[in-house]
Amino acid sequence: MKIVSIIVFFFLFITYQNTIAQIKLHSFESLEYKMEIAPKPIVVFIHTDWCIYCKNMENTTLKNSHIIQKLNTNFYFISLNAESRESIIFLNNTFNFQPNGHRTGVHELAKELATVNNKIGYPTLTILNNKYEIIFQKQSFLSANQLLEILKKIS
């Protein structure tokens, strides 16, 4: 009986920690309403499934407890797969996937948010202000310390 209690305790503890230490994801569709009620800067992480640096940033930087706390408290966070085929309605515009070859393409919204000097790179971190203007863009892997410094300056 004691062993079962210990196992249940550890299971609940691990489950509790995993639910606490996650970034709250928001959607573009829900953003306008949320911004009317509580305006905050918007952090958009633009990535692809095949990008090694994107995966590394998702598994390290975006799992850091300080980053999670800062993002959940002071920002709206959106994760955007640049190759998503789903239409996104944002600011009264519909953004779609645009094919550019056999089974390849880029989402229009990813193009809008991840283009720097006429080039798209992954991962790209784009931050928008409460007027939906781009106030920061960076096309590269960011460590937790680098991202924390950026978030501190903006919030």
Per-residue pLDDT of the chain (155 residues), as tens digits, is 566 445 545 554 554 444 457 999 999 999 999 999 999 999 999 999 999 999 999 999 999 999 999 999 999 999 999 999 999 999 999 999 999 888 889 999 999 999 999 999 999 999 999 999 999 999 999 999 999 999 999 98
Class of domain 22-154: alpha beta
Say what the pLDDT of residue 106 is: 96
Q: Which two tokens stand for residue 147?
A: 């991202």
Query: Beta strands 42-47 and 76-81: pairing type?
Result: parallel
Are 82 and 46 a contacting pair, CB within 8 Å? Answer: yes
Say what the pLDDT of residue 103 is: 82
Q: Where are the domains of the chain?
A: 22-154
C-alpha pair distances (Å), 112 with each of 3, 24, 25, 32: 55, 23, 20, 18
Three-state secondary-structure class, residue 61: helix
Say what the pLDDT of residue 18 is: 46
DSSP 23: P
Are 90 and 26 a contacting pair, CB within 8 Å? Answer: no
Say what the pLDDT of residue 21 is: 73
